[in-house]
Amino acid sequence: MGRSCSTAMLCAMLSCTGSVHGQTAANETPTNLVVTVLGNPAPSIGEKVAWHIASECPCSAVFDARTNSLLRTVESQVDALAQDHAWVLGLIDSPTGKSAFRGGLFRKRGVALLDMNSLKDTAAGGSDSSDLLESRVLKESMRSFGFLLGLKDCPWPRCCMFPAPNEKDLDAKGRDFCPPCQVKVDRILSGEAKAQR
Find the CATH number of the domain harbouring 73: 3.40.390.10
Q: Is 43 within 8 Å of 37 (Cβ atoms)? A: yes
Structural domain count of the chain: 1
pLDDT digits 0-9 by tens, 73-108: 455 666 666 666 788 888 887 665 544 445 677 777
- Domain annotation covers residue 196: no
Q: What is the pLDDT of residue 172?
A: 96
Residue 114 lies in domain? 3-18+30-118+127-190
Q: Is residue 171 part of a domain?
A: yes
75-89, 91-105, 111-125, 176-190: the lowest-pLDDT one: 91-105
Q: What is the DSSP string of 98-155?
A: --S--EEEEGGGTEEEEEGGGGSBGGGTSB--HHHHHHHHHHHHHHHHHHHHT----S
16-58 confidence digits (pLDDT tens): 333 333 334 444 434 488 888 777 667 688 899 999 999 998 8
Please enumerate in sequence order all residues whose Cβ is within 8 A of that of 42, keeping only pairs 6 or more positions apart, or say none. none
